[in-house]
Structures are given as C-alpha cells and as structure tokens.
C-alpha cells in the first residue's frame, strides 16, 4: 500500500481525465492521498475532493506565492474549511525566495500566522521551503512548531544536515520524484542518512514526475519509482519502504488506520 502525502489533483492539468485517473488510482496500490491547498480557492477544492472520494484527504493553507491572502478574513476562511471531516493538515505554507524576494516579510508573517492556526486546531503543517532554509528553520524553531504540531518539510531540497535538524525538531521529510533524478545528489544523501521512520512519500503532482517520466505530468501511479529508488539507496526491499512510509503518513496526519 502507498500513501501519497502531497498532491494537487484539482490542478487544471487533470481537467480532461480526472475521473478516469482517479478510477485507475482506486484500482492500484495507492490507498490514500492528501490533496493540498496552495491558496484559498485550491484549499476549498481540496476539501471538495476529500468529500467526493474515499481515497482523498485534504490540507488547507496558503502557499507563500499567495501570502497576501493571509489576512484576518483569510485565516477565518481556513479555520472554517478546517472543520471539514477529512482535513488533516494546514498546508502548504512556508517561504519561497526563489520567485519572490521582494515580499519576504509578508511571507514570514503569513507563515507564522498559519502555524499559529495549526496550533489552535491541533493539526500538523506541510512546509514549503525553497531557497529560504535559514529563515524557515528559524521560524520553525521560534514557534516550536515541530514539538507542538509536527508535520513535514515537503519536497525537501536542502542538505542532509538541515534534514537532520528538521527531523530532530519533530518533522518528517517529504520525498518524491526528484530523488530519481541523476543530479539529485543532496536528496539521495539525505535519504541515505535519515531514518526510514521519518520519510513520507509524495508526488506534488502534476509536478516533478520521476525518471523515466521527467518533464511529463506526474501522478500517484509513478510513486513506485520513488519507492524503488529509496529502497536502493537504503539497501532494503521495496515492501519495507511502502509499509513504513504508509505507517509514517498515518502517524503524521493522525489518521486512524
């Protein structure tokens, strides 16, 4: 069984064949998927998917690209969405300095406010962090988010040393298709050194498809390639990877099996 902890099936990339693909997922080894919000609109979409399909759970939150949505009204909308039965996390939230360096203070404020919301609701967080390692780690430390709510550093892209610090704080490391790329040296090293008990599988689909599908639309059906790569890096069998990461995801999202 495989748990995709981070997907975006409400994305327009799935508009033409969403229903057909979901039927394929139901017939596969993919048993649970968390569809993750990136702004107020997609957070609502994620809740809608979770209510329509047994396979799906939802996360609600505002990505740093839309940090200006994190107003008093925006927080209230997220709080209301979080009342839905299958909302299991606040996310994806965090910092992204790759595209946006001119609103760093706004991003930090939005990140902090959503961590506080997660604390209020006793929900884990899904952390997006790109070229913002130090500020991300500082905010997670200052808010004591690892101990109070926990969660995952999604689509991990930093050094093994930072991964180790995140794990010590209380976070899981999200690993997806990038680990199969030949040039993903840091992520491969990270997977080798951190305990399997702290790794969760994710796609971030429709983005970041693994080799041999790199550059194409990603889906949860391709997670078998991620499983195979992790197993090879750790020198263990693929069933062990699937079983342990599935358990990790249940624990992280506090879902009763």
Structural domains of the chain, ranges and CATH numbers in brackets: 2-253 (3.20.20.140)
Over residues 139-148, the mean pLDDT reads 98
**Mean pLDDT, the chain, whole residue set:** 97
Q: Which residues of 60-91 are buried (b: 16+ CB within 10 A; e: fewer)?
A: bbbbbebbebbeeebbebbeebbebebbbbbb
Structure-block tokens of residue 198: 């702290």
pLDDT of 102 reads 87
> CA 247, CA 249: separation in Å to the nearest integer?
5
Over residues 122-147, the mean pLDDT reads 98
> CA 181, CA 164: separation in Å to the nearest integer?
22
> CA 216, CA 46: separation in Å to the nearest integer?
23
Structure-block tokens of residue 190: 């990270």
Q: For the segment 22-39, what is each residue's pLDDT rounded down to a tens digit?
A: 999 999 999 999 999 999
CB 97 within 8 A of CB 104: yes
Over residues 67-78, the mean pLDDT reads 98
Over residues 144-161, the mean pLDDT reads 97
Q: Determine the length of the chain.
A: 257
Answering whether pTM is above 0.95, one says: yes
The yes-or-no verdict on residue 188 having pLDDT over 80 is yes
Q: For the segment 156-175, what is each residue's pLDDT rounded down to a tens digit?
A: 999 999 999 999 999 999 99
The yes-or-no verdict on residue 257 having pLDDT over 90 is no
């Amino acid at each position: 069984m495989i748990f995709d902890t981070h997907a975006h099936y409400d994305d327009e990339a799935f508009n033409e064949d969403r229903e057909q693909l979901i039927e394929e997922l139901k017939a596969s080894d993919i048993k649970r998927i968390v569809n993750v919000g990136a702004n107020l609109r997609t957070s609502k979409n994620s809740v809608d998917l979770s209510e329509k399909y047994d396979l799906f759970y939802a996360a609600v939150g505002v990505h740093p690209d839309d940090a200006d949505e994190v107003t008093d009204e925006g927080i209230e909308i997220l709080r209301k969405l979080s009342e839905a039965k299958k909302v299991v996390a606040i996310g994806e939230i965090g910092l992204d300095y790759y595209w946006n360096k001119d609103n760093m203070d706004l991003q930090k404020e939005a990140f902090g406010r959503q961590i506080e919301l997660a604390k209020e609701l006793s929900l884990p967080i899904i952390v997006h962090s790109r070229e913002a390692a130090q500020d991300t780690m500082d905010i997670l430390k200052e808010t004591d988010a690892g101990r109070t709510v926990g969660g995952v550093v999604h689509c991990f892209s930093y050094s093994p040393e930072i991964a180790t610090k995140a794990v010590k704080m209380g976070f899981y490391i999200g690993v997806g298709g990038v680990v199969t790329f030949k040039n993903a040296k840091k992520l491969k090293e990270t997977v080798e050194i951190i305990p399997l008990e702290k790794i969760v599988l994710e796609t971030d689909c429709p983005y970041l498809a693994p080799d041999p599908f790199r550059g194409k639309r990603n889906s949860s059906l391709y997670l078998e390639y991620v499983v195979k790569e992790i197993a090879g890096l750790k020198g263990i069998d693929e069933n062990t990877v699937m079983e342990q990461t599935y358990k990790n995801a249940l624990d992280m999202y506090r879902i009763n099996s």
